[in-house]
Structure 1
Amino acid sequence: MLALVGDHLSNAEIGARLFISVRTVESHVSSLLRKLDVPDRRALARHASGPPQADRSRPAPALPTPLTSFVGRTRERAELLGVLEEHRQVTAVGPGGVGKTRLALTVAADAAGAYPDGVWFVDLVPITSPDLSVVAGTVALALGLGEQPGRGIDETVLAALADRCALLVLDNCEHVQDGVAPFVERLLATCPRVTVLATSRARMMVPFERVYPVPPMSLSGGGDSDAVELFMDRAAASGWPPNHALREQVSEFCARLDGVALAIELAAARWTTLGLDGLEAGLSDQLRMLAGGARAEDRHRSVRAALDWSHALLEPDDRLLLRRVSVFAKSFTADAAARVAASERGVVADGLARLVEQSLLAVTVSPRGTEYRALETIRQYGAEQLDQVGESVDTRTRHVHWCLTQAADLVVVGADWRVRFDAVADDLRAATAWAADRPDRRADACRLAWNLGDLLFTRNLIGESQSRYEQAAALADDPATAASVLRQAAAVAGCRMRGDDMYRFRREAADAARRAGDPAGASRDLAIAAADAYRFASKFVRVLPPGEAIALIAEARELAGEDPDAQAAVALAEAGRVLTEAFADRRPTEGAVPETIACAQHAVDLAHRTGDPLAESAALDTLAGTQSWAGDTFAAAATARRRMALLEFTPDTPAGTHELIEALAEATEAGLGVGDLAGAGRWARRLAEHPLLAEVGHRATSWLLVTDALTGDVDEVLTVSGRFLESWHRSGSPARSVLGPAAAGVAMIHGLRGDDTAGAEWGAVLRQLGTSPGQTHGYGAVFDALVMLHRGQAGDAVERLAPAPGEVWLWVTWIWLHWYVALRAEAGVLAGSPDAGDRVAEARTIVAGNPVAGAIVERADALLAQDMSRLLATADVFDAAGCRYQAARTRVLAGGDQADRGAAALADLGLAPMAPVAP
């Protein structure tokens, strides 16, 4: 009605045009005069013909009122506003449902003060024709303009806005781009004070256009991101707000939706009926799940409808390309797309560019070059189209072949290997899953799974690596292949501390080797299964019954024949059996020790002849264990060093890595046991920095903590213990006794610092790890005694170390025997025990050759003889060994000026002052 009044039609003409009576027209005109507060029909016509000319006092923005709150987008809001201030034509571009319209409306409202002649919103969705006149007519309707006699509607709009300072928001331009582009170009040229903010899925390609890509909702910040805030806000509207504790899970869920605002809103709308677990279960079919809800526009009632809208705008060749590249799970290059789409690279590159322009693909520049990626909902939509036209099998087969090529190229590790693997890992997984479900593609699936196992292990994703090896074995048609890949799985299980899996895979490998006609291979697998049960008993949940192990060895011996590798493996298993049986009662007979050592040495000799460093390393491990149990600490340390030298250049295969990690721990223990603190520190740090243990800091740092505690490196202990504790809790606080020395060492350092609260907390950790003989008689006694002696409680230390070395030596060999007897001697001297001299003499014999333990015994003897020069000489020995705490303690014990120097050194270390010995 207003537009027709502006066209200066009479009431009769208006009635005829609208098929209503003249009286009805008069009623509407009276209503308009009253509502718009204008005095007469002439003023009403002026109001209808454009922005008010008499009243230039900043009219309210003519923007639709959103029905829901605007959430987040602080950065995008500021950026788009800034761009709008600098450029006259800005196009906010993004895929359907990303939130372009809401952002544009909010920014337009923010900018309204800069446009005294108004802000006008034009919804182009209802238009079905891209004709310029239709576009101009829609703009005129939004501005309240009517067509002037003898003047086209586009000219009417241009004339009305010629001298106006206004902002025009053109929403959803993509489907009428051919009409919008020339209209906007003419508008900007004719109306120098008009600014255009357009939203579109594709840029308009007009002069002076500034494109602002609208990103998905922010996912940074985890539970506090914009995406989470949007989900929580829309879900709360249902009357059942999600619990705040779910924010991290909601964050992960929104990430799976790529942060697309429409998808998040549609998902939040189903919160009350599905819950978060139901929504997560529906992620595999987002197009079905993200549907429903009454919306003003059909194209936003579901994600599928939004994509149908975009898909309908594509040319046939671009539709074909979109559906074929939908098989890529992640980013891809034009070369990769050409391979999978079975088309020429140049043609594909042009098509990809058009898909980017339509916001159906995102484009980024990476070290690999230009890469493209489809949001998950678009990818699922393309996959549906692929199935509907019957191209899925052929396209996915080409994708599998492309993945096999990528996996083969990745075997050669380069400087950028990790980046290259991460870029294709999801595609390798997707291709493996598809091929594994097709009988005609099992061979391809097996190769992909095996390659994935190798690559994932190198990437330190060892849990998935193990499962991929197991998958490859299940897919293998050739039993020899299955046996090979199962051996890899067993080694990975060893790296994961999963002894039962390690044992199971070895048994399965033996079965596969038999089927392949390889009795020697089966023999080796059976023997290694038994040997592993002995070597890595702490990694097993199920204790292997002695009879089962003996039967395995017997079967392995029968199958070995003359094969040297099999014979060496049988000898290794036999050495493990003899060692276990010899020390089963903790009191081996005199003849058992040489027999056990001879058996272990035989295994080393056979393994050495094979030329396999890993087989020899395993045999040396057993020999070192035998020497340790026999009480020959120095021989065990020498064997451990020999083992490390053997593994120095071992490749980073699962089996090689498993041996190396175990050898590093053994070498660290050996160094501590003979007083080589510098060597122990090197091995411990190398173990702590091993990339495979990056996610299990408690396991990686345990021996470093022990070493640093014994040297008195307080700052390092306090730093590393935080990593240990965090990792231990993250892993579910496993009760592994092997971690006991680390916890006891940290507790000891807090005891020396005088921090009883922290000491008690670590004491609680120690109790959670379980009580072991080593805690009672070995490391536990040593660390407790160190604290007691520091606090002047020599009598308590004597009591804590009361058992004689001959009573506890079996529990404290390898590392703790020398420390135990040395501290026992010093405690006896400081406490004035009647047998102090005997303790010193006994200890001197046991620790001979150990610089640190020897210096402690020498200090005790000097204290007993009151020989201060001998006493001070030990301080230099401690300094040379890197044992700063013991050096400072020696100077305090010397008294006089040396005591002040020692006290200062203790303070520099961050330790509390030493207390005088209690009477």
Structure 2
Amino acid sequence: MREDWAVTATVDISPREGEVLELVGAHFSNAEIAARLSISVRTVESHVSSLLRKLEVPDRRALAHRAPEPTSTGTAAPVAPALPAALTSYVGRSGEQAALIELITTRREVTAVGPGGVGKTRLALAVAAEAAGNHFDAVWYVDLVPVTDPEMIATAIAATLGLGEQPGRDITESVIAALADRHALLVLDNCEQVLDGVALVVERLLATCPQLTVLATSRAQLMVPFEHVYQVPPLSLPVDGESDAVALFLERAAAVGSTLDPAAREQIAVICERLDGMALAIELAAARYRTLGLDGITAALSHPLRMLTGGFRANERHRSVRAALDWSHALLDPADQALLRRISVFVAPFTAFAAAQVAESDEFLVADGLARLAEQSLLVVTASPRGTAYRALETIRQYGTEQLATADELGAVRDRHLRWCLEQAAGLTADRPDWRAGFDAVADDLRSALAWAAQEPEQRANAYRLAQRLAELTFTRTLIGESQLRYEQAASYAEDPGATAAELRNAAAVAACRMRGDDLYRLYRAAAEADLRAGSTEGAARDLATIAITSYRFAGRFVRRLPVEETDALIAQARELAGQDQAAQVMVAVAEAGQALNAAIITAEGHPGNAVADTITRAERAVESAHSAGDPLAESIALDVLTGAQSWAGDTFAAAATTQRRITLLSSTPVTPAATHELIEALGEAAEASLGTGDLHAARQWAAQLAEHPLLAEVGHRATSWLLVADAFAGNVDQVLSGSVRFLDAWRRAGSPARASLGPAVAAVAMVHGLRGDEDARREWLEILEQLDTPPEEAFGYGAVFDTMLLLHHGRLPEALERIARPPSEIWKWVTWIWHHWYVALRAEAAVLAGHPDALARVTEARTIVAGNPLAAAQVARAAALLDGDPDAVRATAAIFDSLGCHYQSERTLILAAGNHTQHGS
């Protein structure tokens, strides 16, 4: 265990809170924590709120610093209750605190306005701490100091809330969904540098989250609806010798080891008056007491502060802080002055090693200088898992930046900071166990360095490199909205059109992962134009063909669905531009195969004809061409088209084989946004196809891999869908019950989308509750099913299968016969292709159990149809044995079911066989 976390006292943290704290320390989102612990996201939020209160820390980042390392047993070690060293004691302000508490309980938005150094942040934190205990069921604090891009406000809020991005919605929508029904307080601190971005986000939040209250601190008001401005006054000045200002001075002087004589209060009061009661100025003065004494402080302050005459009082207060900073800065030796201004480029906490690189000095000398700056209250020191870190308050950081400009060092130091950021970004790899924490620690500095480099023409090449690397890192960190933005930025900084096109294609692939078809269309169009500028007609051909094939594969992801005429025109243009280039010709061939499949489906109108054979042939040729060209991603797309054609034809086994071939291909493909998108889609199709062939082991394997994919952590309904179906068939009741918690929680957080693809999972969970006899839970899930789009497969595919399994379980044989009465030949295989074997096997079993006159005919027909499907074949064999009155043959199928992972049917077999095994089966 780290010495920094040595326990001197204990805090009452439950075992579950300990698990949550450990995962917060590992920088997992709430959804990722919920998935790992099999609890709801809302439960994780409750534990995090409780931990913030118990450990007395302001935000999630500070909470992560308080997280212990795992012990050898894998459980969390005890946690020390002390506040981080960065948080000094809070002094005075009882009147202001009470006023703000009253305002936030009656107003939707309160902005605490005041000059830098007046104490807005400390006041807001004190108000938030009190509100958390008495007024709101959730309080979140967001420090916006590190945020330099107005577009990143929602991302900063999401990080505090523990949210990741949900594919299909932007991060602001995810924040809105999380706060929509919460009686919560959101504290946004230091808004002034990104005021416009804050105003836009706050206005949306206030309009859509009726129980949300926002407390903002800023040097200027936000100008948003519902805003009430509270002017933060300076600390109270002496009245009868008592004041908050004097109390703060005494407290901070004592903190540096100096106890003052009570008789000195009058002299302290004079100092505080000269500093206009400004908290930061008083702290800087008190930090010098040990070396200067009260007389020295008074003498030093007298001259510069006498200059403060005229103007608005608020401006004078600005000048009083500036004067205190000037005075404190003047007392530093030249080396410490240089160090203070050079470390001002860091927007996040930094180490002595990082400061040494940027300051271009020896690490030992820098560490010594940082300690002296901290002693003078010019830096805040915090202990973290990555070692001792330093941070300058925003007012001091801005002062240091001004000093850099005055010393004509701004460009040189910014350049060194940029190079340090490039080194940090290059060293962050996902194979490092602490890479998440490593990225989060430097991410704000990477963004700040990129924002500066983008404005400097001579840094264009470095801006390109950093944007490209930041795009890769944020994608791996599943910040996919930012990843797309950074790839687009990299494209704009690239020196040649070819590189521009490459980055635009990467951005388009991320847009595909985000399920944003319109962005994908825009970006591939732009990539094609860049390719043409670079003289690469073959590149443009690939881009245009990709748009066309994507419009066929993922039509539902486009807000503006592409008309058939437009996709046909894209393919024609791509064919013309491809020329003799093999890679371009491959993508054109894949697009043409998709075009043929789409046309065949439209013209067939539900009845497969000769067009299917031609479509399969085209798709197979496209697969061969892509394989010959050595293009795994094109081959994956071609295999997907082939799977679609095979499943459309009702060839379940061929479709399953193709999906597994696709996963094998992608497993050895380098991880990129495009490969990740292909893999996610392939896993879902492989799980689906394996269910259709009765391979439950493979179905669970692919479905579990999908459920664990980090890109789907925030969309558990999509991630767990096929795993729920596989577990329902297997009879894994505990897994279904725990998985359904994640599914339902994520589905509701996503806004309860009416996606037809979720129907099988919902129906499967409803069936399991029915098997357990929990009719209330079953009705709840059937109500959810009614909210989804219900295609024909709900009636004749999974709906018929799960309903019949439940009816047979309860012995309601006439109803089971009625539910599954339609002959298989009357049901189009495109609708029921993965359910087809289950349907005919259940239909045969129902006929046998009900004594239907056609039972033998149905069993005979079923044997032929399900040949090759081990599970369905076992079910038909059991039905035949029951029909023959052969209990030994019936019992023999139990072992088959067990070997196939279908334990429910194994136990059901023992009941159907009757005799001594019935009780065990029950």
TM-score range, shorter chain: 0.5 to 0.7
Q: Which residue of 2 aligns with 1:82?
A: none
Please point out which of 502, 507, 527 is paired with 2:525: 507
Provide closer, same or farther for how the CA distance between residues 707 and 381 of structure 1 changes in structure 2, counting only shifts above 3 A: farther
Question: Is 1:313 paired with 2:334?
Answer: no
> Distance between the aligned counterparts of 2:54 and 2:651, measured in 1?
69
Query: Per the alignment, in what secondary structure is the counterpart of residue 583 of structure 1?
Result: helix
> Distance between the aligned counterparts of 2:127 and 2:382, measured in 1?
18
Paired residues of 1:93 and 1:100 also in contact (CA < 8 A): no
Q: Which residue of 2 aligns with 1:447?
A: 465
Q: Which residue of 2 aligns with 1:253?
A: 188
| One-letter amino acid matched to 2:900 | A
Q: CA deviation at 1:737?
A: 1.8
Provide closer, same or farther for how the CA distance between residues 247 and 732 of structure 1 changes in structure 2, counting only shifts above 3 A: closer
Q: Which residue of 2 aligns with 1:19?
A: none
Please point out which of 812, 815, 832 is paired with 2:851: 832
Q: Which residue of 2 aligns with 1:864?
A: 883
Q: Which residue of 2 aligns with 1:773?
A: 792
Moved more, 699-708 or 577-586: 577-586
Please point out which of 721, 724, 728 is paired with 1:705: 724
Paired residues of 1:892 and 1:898 also in contact (CA < 8 A): yes
| One-letter amino acid matched to 2:436 | R
Please point out which of 808, 820, 840 is paired with 2:839: 820
Q: CA deviation at 1:385?
A: 5.0
Provide closer, same or farther for how the CA distance between residues 498 and 247 of structure 1 changes in structure 2, counting only shifts above 3 A: closer
| One-letter amino acid matched to 2:759 | G
> Distance between the aligned counterparts of 1:616 and 1:75, measured in 2?
54
| One-letter amino acid matched to 1:295 | S
Paired residues of 2:453 and 2:460 also in contact (CA < 8 A): yes
Q: CA deviation at 1:619?
A: 1.3
Q: Which residue of 1 aligns with 2:480?
A: 462
Q: Which residue of 2 aligns with 1:545?
A: 563
> Distance between the aligned counterparts of 1:691 and 1:706, measured in 2?
21
Please point out which of 279, 290, 294 is paired with 2:216: 279
Q: CA deviation at 1:582?
A: 1.0
Q: Which residue of 1 aligns with 2:652?
A: 633
1:681-696 to 2 correspondence within 5 Å? 681-696=700-715
| One-letter amino acid matched to 2:327 | A
Instruction: Please list the CA deviations of residues 39-73 of structure 1 after superposition, one character each: whole Å capped at 9, or x if unmatched.
Output: xxxxxxxxxxxxxxxxxxxxxxxxxxxxxxxxx99
> Distance between the aligned counterparts of 1:289 and 1:324, measured in 2?
35
1:801-816 to 2 correspondence within 5 Å? 801-816=820-835
Q: CA deviation at 1:219?
A: 11
1:87-126 to 2 correspondence within 5 Å? 99=90
Provide closer, same or farther for how the CA distance between residues 834 and 693 of structure 1 changes in structure 2, counting only shifts above 3 A: same
Instruction: Please list the CA deviations of residues 175-205 of structure 1 after superposition, one character each: whole Å capped at 9, or x if unmatched.
Output: xxxxxxxxxxxxxxxxxxxxxxxxxx9xxxx
Paired residues of 1:628 and 1:636 also in contact (CA < 8 A): yes
1:135-174 to 2 correspondence within 5 Å? none
Paired residues of 1:219 and 1:255 also in contact (CA < 8 A): no
Paired residues of 1:708 and 1:714 also in contact (CA < 8 A): yes
Moved more, 640-649 or 709-718: 640-649
The TM-score with structure 1 as length reference comes to 0.68
| One-letter amino acid matched to 2:480 | I
Query: Per the alignment, in what secondary structure is the counterpart of residue 770 of structure 1?
Result: coil
Provide closer, same or farther for how the CA distance between residues 551 and 391 of structure 1 changes in structure 2, counting only shifts above 3 A: same
Paired residues of 1:872 and 1:891 also in contact (CA < 8 A): yes
Q: CA deviation at 1:374?
A: 2.4
| One-letter amino acid matched to 1:333 | T
Query: Per the alignment, in what secondary structure is the counterpart of residue 587 of structure 1?
Result: coil
Q: Which residue of 1 aligns with 2:433?
A: 415
Instruction: Please list the CA deviations of residues 372-398 of structure 1 after superposition, one character each: whole Å capped at 9, or x if unmatched.
Output: 222445434544555566654443333
> Distance between the aligned counterparts of 1:780 and 1:660, measured in 2?
28
Question: Is 1:224 paired with 2:239?
Answer: no
Q: Which residue of 2 aligns with 1:124?
A: none
Instruction: Please list the CA deviations of residues 380-434 of structure 1 after superposition, one character each: whole Å capped at 9, or x if unmatched.
Output: 4544555566654443333223222322232574333222211110101112223
> Distance between the aligned counterparts of 1:744 and 1:283, measured in 2?
54
Paired residues of 1:582 and 1:588 also in contact (CA < 8 A): no
Paired residues of 1:282 and 1:289 also in contact (CA < 8 A): no
| One-letter amino acid matched to 2:571 | I
Paired residues of 1:665 and 1:687 also in contact (CA < 8 A): yes
Q: CA deviation at 1:357?
A: 1.3
Paired residues of 1:476 and 1:482 also in contact (CA < 8 A): yes
Query: Per the alignment, in what secondary structure is the counterpart of residue 345 of structure 2?
Result: coil
Question: Is 1:292 paired with 2:233?
Answer: yes
Paired residues of 1:478 and 1:516 also in contact (CA < 8 A): yes
Question: Is 1:325 paired with 2:325?
Answer: no
Q: CA deviation at 1:569?
A: 0.7
Q: Structure 1: which 5+ residue stretches go unaligned? A: 1-71, 77-91, 104-200, 202-213, 233-243, 258-274, 904-919
Q: CA deviation at 1:517?
A: 1.1
Q: Which residue of 2 aligns with 1:642?
A: 661
Q: CA deviation at 1:826?
A: 1.7
Task: Report which structure shows greater RCO (CA 8 Å, sep ≥6).
Answer: 2
Instruction: Please list the CA deviations of residues 639-668 of structure 1 after superposition, one character each: whole Å capped at 9, or x if unmatched.
Output: 112112212222221112111111111111
Question: Is 1:396 paired with 2:414?
Answer: yes
> Distance between the aligned counterparts of 1:74 and 1:700, measured in 2?
34
1:611-690 to 2 correspondence within 5 Å? 611-690=630-709
Query: Per the alignment, in what secondary structure is the counterpart of residue 647 of structure 1?
Result: helix
| One-letter amino acid matched to 2:748 | H
> Distance between the aligned counterparts of 2:84 and 2:736, measured in 1?
54
The TM-score with structure 2 as length reference comes to 0.68
Please point out which of 779, 783, 807 is paired with 1:764: 783
Paired residues of 2:798 and 2:835 also in contact (CA < 8 A): yes
Provide closer, same or farther for how the CA distance between residues 898 and 249 of structure 1 changes in structure 2, counting only shifts above 3 A: closer
Moved more, 566-575 or 684-693: 684-693
1:897-916 to 2 correspondence within 5 Å? 897-903=916-922
1:377-388 to 2 correspondence within 5 Å? 377-383=395-401, 386=404
Paired residues of 2:186 and 2:213 also in contact (CA < 8 A): no
> Distance between the aligned counterparts of 1:560 and 1:788, measured in 2?
57
Instruction: Please list the CA deviations of residues 759-785 of structure 1 after superposition, one character each: whole Å capped at 9, or x if unmatched.
Output: 111112222222122222211221111
Q: CA deviation at 1:816?
A: 1.0
| One-letter amino acid matched to 2:188 | F
Question: Is 1:603 paired with 2:603?
Answer: no
Size of the aligned set, in residue pairs, is 680
Moved more, 534-543 or 445-454: 534-543
1:354-373 to 2 correspondence within 5 Å? 354-364=372-382, 368-373=386-391
Q: Which residue of 2 aligns with 1:239?
A: none
> Distance between the aligned counterparts of 1:669 and 1:74, measured in 2?
46
Provide closer, same or farther for how the CA distance between residues 345 and 766 of structure 1 changes in structure 2, counting only shifts above 3 A: same
Q: Which residue of 2 aligns with 1:424?
A: 442
Moved more, 406-415 or 324-333: 406-415
Provide closer, same or farther for how the CA distance between residues 469 and 613 of structure 1 changes in structure 2, counting only shifts above 3 A: same
Query: Per the alignment, in what secondary structure is the counterpart of residue 668 of structure 1?
Result: helix
> Distance between the aligned counterparts of 1:499 and 1:686, measured in 2?
25
Question: Is 1:497 paired with 2:515?
Answer: yes
Paired residues of 1:436 and 1:445 also in contact (CA < 8 A): yes
Provide closer, same or farther for how the CA distance between residues 280 and 444 of structure 1 changes in structure 2, counting only shifts above 3 A: farther
Q: Structure 2: which 5+ residue stretches go unaligned? A: 1-52, 58-82, 95-118, 141-178, 193-211, 223-228, 238-271, 283-320
Query: Per the alignment, in what secondary structure is the counterpart of residue 828 of structure 2?
Result: helix
